[in-house]
């Protein structure tokens, strides 16, 4: 039996032995993978001290030189795809192909954000005074705290550190306690590109201790958080004490609208893929379907067949599986409970509906529920598992009203061949993103942001980059 790996925090350019540890398990078979630091508030403060100490020098480094470190790191990741992807699959459970996509996309993302090094711009604004110039500078905020979830744990490191670093900030990252190993592997490769000490730091630990210490600290100038609404709300309370800038990427309940004039092959394939990818644990995958009555029976039959045909299991034991386990026991129990409650309230089980008996591991059957209605929790709350609830609608107006009547507002999708229907959806769907005739994922040059409880601010592209800066307006009369 292989021994668990012992990981250490990465603070001020050095790996540090920890006093207390958390254990990390493989969700597909519950094997112990590693022991990682259970960081205390003292550990967190030391990491923040390091980030603070490095920040002025880093900001004074030309942006193109800062960017060069990100390009070098991107190439390191590309040289280590197989090892990194295996680390992700082992602790998170996604299939190997998807883990490889995650690593390669992360490398591309580092390159993309690095390219902004020469493009970060301020503005010159017209003055009302004869001899005055008004300059708007964009400046780094200072020290960023990046707090990560477990579902795309590797990519999210880059989504936070790349825009933070290229704009002149330094950062302390806290990975999820479920998936810290890949973050320490990232730090190990970053250590080889000779980034100045303290610019990038990693502390692992629980949300209640390390996460809380990080978000409550006066040393932090911006909190960039991706995770649940519940945790986002706790973090806001901490941020309120110090008026710390917040960027919150929270949950979703993406509606997929399938109209009578949809290409059903396309809709079935896209929605099924979106619901099984990463075992349905994606903030922007189809979480509820509104299908128009004319195609409802055919759509339900076809998507049920497609879901039922999904091969699932332990991705490292069987390279043919299309779907791995759920992240942990709590996630599995929550999904099972939501399905039971929906059935109790009248939803009709078409396929799946049970915890899969594969021995160890947290596997749930791909599931389709029809006959759902807007009063059911399964149509309103985030499921985060391979379960697709379906409600029949008669008109696009009705579908849009139901889609918008939700506390989440991250992403949405619609399947139609009509330009008028597509344009009505663009005008009236009240979400941060809408996909027409496809499902997730978002582009790195777009802007990933939600409305309502799905978050504050956003990530990616120019708008995501500038979230990591503040303006400084100078009035020069000369
Ligand atoms: P979570 O909120 O349970 O945990 C996220 C992180 O917050 C972890 O690192 C955790 O340790 C930390 N944390 C917990 N309590 C804390 C506290 N009091 N103070 C500071 N930090 C604390 O979320 P999760 O289960 O890891 O991730 C799943 C959620 O993330 C889903 O709701 C999903 O929709 C969302 N998500 C959103 C996006 C997006 O782009 N909007 C992307 C991925 C995931």
CATH number of the domain residue 227 falls in: 3.40.605.10
Query: Which strands form 132-140's sheet, in the order they lie side by side?
Result: 123-125, 132-140, 469-477
Q: What is the model's pLDDT at position 319?
A: 92
Q: What is the model's pLDDT at position 432?
A: 97
Residue with tokens 């799946």: 352
Active site residues: 249, 283
Give tens-digit pLDDT for 191-228. Answer: 999 999 999 999 999 999 999 999 999 999 999 999 99
Q: State the closest ligand 1 atom to the C-alpha of 283, by its place in the atom list counted from 1.
A: 34
**CB-ligand 1 contact for 382 (6 Å cutoff):** yes
Q: What is the model's pLDDT at position 183?
A: 98
Same domain, 153 and 35: yes
**CB-ligand 1 contact for 160 (6 Å cutoff):** no
66 phi and psi, to 5 degrees? -60, -40
Q: Tell how far the Cα of 97 is from the centroid of ligand 1, in angstroms.
A: 24
Give the domain range for residue 325: 254-441
Give tens-digit pLDDT for 234-272. Answer: 999 999 999 999 999 999 999 999 999 999 999 999 999
Q: What is the Cα–Cα distance from 208 to 321, expressed in whole angstroms?
A: 35
Nearest CA to ligand 1 atom 8: 176
Q: What is the model's pLDDT at position 360?
A: 87
Q: Tell how far the Cα of 229 is from the centroid of ligand 1, in angstroms.
A: 8
Average pLDDT in the chain: 97
Q: Which residues, other chains included, contact 79 with Cβ-Cβ below 8 Å and sequence gap of 6+?
A: none
pLDDT-derived band of residue 1, with 50, 70 and 90 as boundaries?
Answer: low
220 within a domain of the structure (yes/no): yes
Same domain, 220 and 334: no
> Is this structure's pTM higher than 0.85?
yes
Q: What is the model's pLDDT at position 18?
A: 92
| Residue whose CB lies within 8 A of the most ligand 1 atoms, among 149, 284, 333, 412, for a mutation test | 149
Residue with tokens 């591991």: 361
Residue 393 near residue 368, CB atoms below 8 Å: no
Same domain, 104 and 170: yes
Give tens-digit pLDDT for 141-190. Answer: 999 999 999 999 999 999 999 999 999 999 999 999 999 999 999 999 99
pLDDT higher than threshold 90 for residue 300:
yes
Q: What is the model's pLDDT at position 405?
A: 98
Same domain, 225 and 166: yes
Q: What is the Cα–Cα distance from 387 to 369, expressed in whole angstroms?
A: 8
Q: What is the Cα–Cα distance from 164 to 136, expressed in whole angstroms?
A: 19
Nearest CA to ligand 1 atom 35: 227
Q: Tell how far the Cα of 477 is from the centroid of ligand 1, in angstroms.
A: 48
Give tens-digit pLDDT for 334-374. Answer: 999 999 999 999 999 999 999 998 888 999 999 999 999 99
Same domain, 60 and 114: yes
447 within a domain of the structure (yes/no): no
Long-range contacts from 189-192, C-beta under 8 angstroms, 24+ separation: 189/73, 189/76, 189/77, 189/80, 190/10, 190/73, 190/76, 191/10, 191/13, 191/15, 192/76
Count of domains observed in the chain: 2
Give DSSP secondary structure letters for 392-421. Answer: EES-HHHHHHHHHSSSEESEEEEE-S-HHH
Same domain, 331 and 264: yes
**CB-ligand 1 contact for 149 (6 Å cutoff):** yes
Same domain, 321 and 424: yes
CATH assignment of the domain containing 359: 3.40.309.10
**CB-ligand 1 contact for 353 (6 Å cutoff):** no
Classify 32 as helix, strand or coil. Answer: strand
**CB-ligand 1 contact for 146 (6 Å cutoff):** no
Give DSSP secondary structure letters for 136-194. Answer: EEEEE-SEEEEE--SSSHHHHHHHHHHHHHHTT-EEEEE--TTS-HHHHHHHHHHHTTT
Give tens-digit pLDDT for 71-121. Answer: 999 999 999 999 999 999 999 999 999 999 999 999 999 999 999 999 999
pLDDT higher than threshold 90 for residue 2:
no
């Amino acid at each position: 039996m292989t021994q668990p790996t012992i990981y250490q925090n990465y603070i001020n350019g050095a790996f540090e032995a920890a006093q207390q540890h958390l254990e990390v398990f493989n969700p597909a078979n519950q094997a112990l993978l590693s022991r990682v630091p259970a960081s205390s508030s003292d550990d967190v403060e030391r990491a923040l001290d390091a980030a603070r100490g490095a920040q002025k020098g880093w900001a004074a480094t030309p942006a193109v030189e800062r960017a060069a470190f990100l390009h070098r790191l991107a190439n390191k990741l590309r040289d280590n795809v197989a090892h990194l992807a295996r680390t992700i699959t082992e602790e998170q459970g996604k299939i190997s192909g998807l883990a490889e996509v995650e690593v390669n996309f992360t490398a591309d993302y580092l390159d993309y954000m690095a390219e902004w090094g020469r493009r970060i711009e301020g503005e010159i604004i017209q003055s009302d005074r004869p001899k005055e110039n008004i300059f708007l500078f964009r400046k780094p905020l200072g020290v960023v705290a990046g707090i990560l979830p477990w579902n795309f744990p590797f990519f999210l490191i880059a989504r936070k550190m790349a825009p933070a670093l290229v704009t002149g900030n330094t950062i302390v990252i806290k990975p999820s306690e479920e998936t810290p190993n890949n973050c320490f592997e990232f730090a190990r490769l970053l250590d080889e590109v000779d980034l100045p000490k303290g610019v990038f730091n990693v502390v692992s630990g629980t949300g209640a201790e390390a996460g809380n210490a990080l978000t409550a600290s006066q040393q932090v100038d911006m909190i960039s958080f991706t995770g649940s609404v519940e945790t986002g709300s706790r973090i806001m309370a901490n941020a309120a004490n110090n008026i710390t800038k917040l960027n919150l990427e929270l949950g979703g309940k993406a509606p997929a609208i399938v109209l009578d004039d949809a290409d059903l092959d396309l809709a079935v394939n896209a929605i099924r893929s979106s619901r099984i990818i990463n075992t349905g644990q994606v903030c922007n995958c189809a979480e509820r379907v509104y299908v128009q009555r004319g195609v409802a029976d055919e759509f339900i039959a076809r998507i049920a067949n497609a879901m039922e045909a999904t091969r699932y299991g332990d991705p490292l034991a069987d390279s043919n599986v299309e779907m791995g386990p759920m992240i942990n026991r709590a996630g599995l129990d929550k999904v099972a409970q939501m399905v039971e409650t929906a059935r109790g309230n009248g939803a009709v089980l078409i396929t799946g509906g049970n915890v899969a008996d594969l021995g160890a591991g947290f596997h749930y059957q791909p599931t389709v529920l029809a006959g759902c209605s807007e009063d059911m929790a399964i149509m309103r709350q985030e499921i985060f598992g391979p379960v697709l609830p379906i409600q029949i609608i008669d008109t696009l107006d009705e579908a849009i009203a139901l889609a918008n009547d939700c506390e989440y507002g991250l992403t949405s999708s619609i399947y139609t061949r009509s330009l008028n229907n597509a344009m009505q959806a663009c005008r009236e769907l009240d979400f941060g993103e809408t996909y027409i005739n496809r499902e997730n994922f978002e582009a790195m040059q777009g802007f990933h942001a939600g409305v309502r409880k799905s978050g504050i601010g956003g990530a990616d592209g120019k708008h995501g980059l500038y979230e990591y800066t503040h303006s400084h307006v100078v009035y020069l009369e000369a």
